[in-house]
Amino acid sequence: MTDPDNITTFSPYYNLASIRRLFDLQDAPALYPKTRRMKRKVILHVGPTNSGKTYNALVALANAHSGVYAGPLRLLAHEIFDRLNKGLIVLPQVPGEPAQSSVRVCNLVTGEEQRIVDPEAPFASMTVEMLNPNTPYDVAVLDEVQMIADPDRGAAWTKAILGLRVKELHLCGEERAVGLVKSLLEDSGDELVVRRYERLTPLTVSSKSLQSLRNVKPGDCVVAFSRQDLFTLKYAIEKKTGLRCAMAYGGLPPEIRAEQAQLFNDPDSGYDVMVASDAVGMGLNLKIRRIIFSTLTKWDGRRDTPLSVSATKQIGGRAGRFGLHEEDSTGLVTTLREYEMNALRKSMTGTIPPLTYAYLEPSPEAMADLATLLPPVTRFEDVYNLYQSSAMVRAPYRLQSLKYSKTVKRAMEIVNEHYEGMPTWECMNMLRVPFNYSTHTLRDVARNMARAHTQKASVPLKDVFESTPLLKALEYVTEARQKALEAEPDSNAPARRKRILQQLGDEEHTLLRNLETCHKALTGYLWMSYRVPAAFSDRVEAFEMKQQVESGIDFYLALLAEAQAPEVVDNYATRRRAIRATQKTASNGASAEPSRVETTPRKGPHTHVAQSIL
């Protein structure tokens, strides 16, 4: 790192020359010299959804002496953590030799949670951002490799592909990533083997559309892309068919999505249909027989735009999952309305354009070096932008920037407001907090967090929620939940539950949205607690509150099912305990940390989609 004491005067010419020497990124693989001294074998598994590509990579992982799995979602990291510790990845048996155990001691490390089964465990399951390139493994599995082209998170995949110190690196993803990965590995000098897979079960586009929600059947998943449409569809399906709907969408915490998926998969739960957003396309194993698109357009913040070929295939491919159906496993895909069937057929048979860019992220070390070359009064955003304009990057790489990432742009506004004069690494931490800043309330939470961090030695958890309705919403729903759990079952139970719904008075689901935002806020606090533990010291309290929020959301969703099934709330406590017990089985022996939202619906032409077809 440059010594600031050696710079006595500010010389634009001197500093520009230094910047160019320090931040020459034209040889990205050279950023990882220890890895370049290795001879790695990279196996790229590509194929459609439900082709077995990830399973084959996981078999190689479980067969190794040490290894790591890294995926884009906490749900996926939890699943592989669970499967490795339980021995659920079946290993091939050598003829004539005794069967070997597939149980592997594995730790879980995500941005918001760490479960340490054994400090010396040879295996780990992580979210991609938590990978440390300096940790050596025999085998690594990097899932959803096509995310290397994502403007917000792609840099983490690039870092993993170029930097992981492993003998054998398995990449899993879509065919469109092959050319880009080849280009990266030609630069790094690693051996590349491409393995292509075909779908394990048939997938068919139906000959006609659903036409009416009365035709929804058990095992169906109806897909929509806005909260309003999801809830409208849920109510309509339950009213017209008598079937009960589970729900999965991005706003729900991963833990609740997993519970809803378990309810849908359980033939005895009474939840026959899934109503989901595009969150169904990744991270959930669901026994879906038919995918029904309520629309093939999605609101992008300005207008309704056609769903991409890649997204359509990813979601549609969830039908007919191999190994999840005892009978006919053929998957069906259709639309709600006939006029969209041709578009669906074209997308399901269409070619996905290849990826062209892999993203790089400015490293905290590079940003700190740059800051030492500039006057002390220079704002962090100016340091960041100067890095963007001075760094030399060549194709197929692209530097993550405010231009490409809305998340970074919004985070930078908060850094500008509250982090003036703070060390560069503190500013970089704030840029990386896992907030999507999608609502004013979540942006208020981020501001509260930043303000407390810069003004106080510690960040009390209560300060994060100042001037927001989030804790009030949690208190309100928790009180209603407690009353429901304590009430004795009686003949007036249906009337009592209706009174609870009326007392909540939440026709626009504002309470639910506030609970979801509260969960995101707690996730951000926990993320910071692992990076700046001295300042974000209320980790135990945050874990406890996070679990309380999850219980509140689960209860709220159970209340929503009341309209269709009066016994839902009576069975709520029993069901909750059963699901929680199942989820905790994998972590026996593991040490774990006590693991204002918009009140009006988003305006835009997409909000009337569901109403128009009911």
What are the E-state strand segments in 447-592?
Answer: 591-592
pLDDT in tens, 480-504: 888 777 765 655 555 665 566 566 6
CB 231 within 8 A of CB 509: yes
Residue 132's pLDDT is 94
State which H helix or E strand residue 143 sits in.
Answer: none
Q: What is the mean pLDDT of residues 5-26?
A: 59
Sheet containing strand 203-205, strands side by side: 203-205, 331-335, 290-293, 220-223, 271-276, 244-248
Q: Kindly state the average pLDDT of the residues 3-18.
A: 47
Two domains, one topology: 32-196 and 203-349: yes
Q: What is the mean pLDDT of residues 455-481?
A: 91
For the range 18-24, what are the long-range contacts, defined as Cβ-Cβ under 8 Å and sequence gap of 24 or more?
Answer: 18/373, 19/370, 19/373, 19/386, 19/387, 19/390, 20/390, 20/392, 22/366, 22/369, 22/370, 23/366, 23/370, 23/387, 23/390, 23/391, 23/392, 24/391, 24/392
Q: In whole angstroms, how far apart are CA 431 and each of 32, 361, 400, 497, 520?
A: 23, 11, 12, 44, 15
pLDDT tens column, 249-266? 988 898 899 899 999 999
Q: Output 264 or 364, whichever has higher pLDDT.
A: 264
Binned at pLDDT 50, 70 and 90, residue 32 comes out as very high
Q: What is the pLDDT of residue 43?
A: 98
The CATH number given to 32-196 is 3.40.50.300
Question: 563 pLDDT band (50/70/90 cuts)?
Answer: very low
Per-residue pLDDT for 603 more than 60? Answer: no
Distance, CA of 148 to CA of 181 (rounded, Å): 9
Q: On the CB side of 555, how many CA atoms lie within 13 Å of its CA?
A: 24
Q: For residue range 401-429, what is the model confidence (pLDDT) as tens digits?
A: 877 778 888 899 999 888 887 888 888 88
Extended beta strands in 300-411, E state: 304-306, 331-335, 358-360, 397-399
The CATH number assigned to the domain with range 203-349 reads 3.40.50.300
Reported as a pLDDT band with limits 50, 70 and 90, residue 159 is: very high
Among residues 531, 555, 285, which one has the least CA distance to residue 427?
531
In angstroms, the CA 447 to CA 230 distance is: 31
Task: Give the residue extent of every domain in the chain.
Answer: 32-196, 203-349, 461-592
Kindly indicate the confidence band of residue 326, based on its pLDDT and cuts at 50, 70 and 90: low
| Cβ within 8 Å of residue 192, ≥6 positions away | 42, 43, 44, 181, 182, 185
Sign of the CA dihedral 145, 148, 149, 154? positive
The pTM is what?
Answer: 0.85
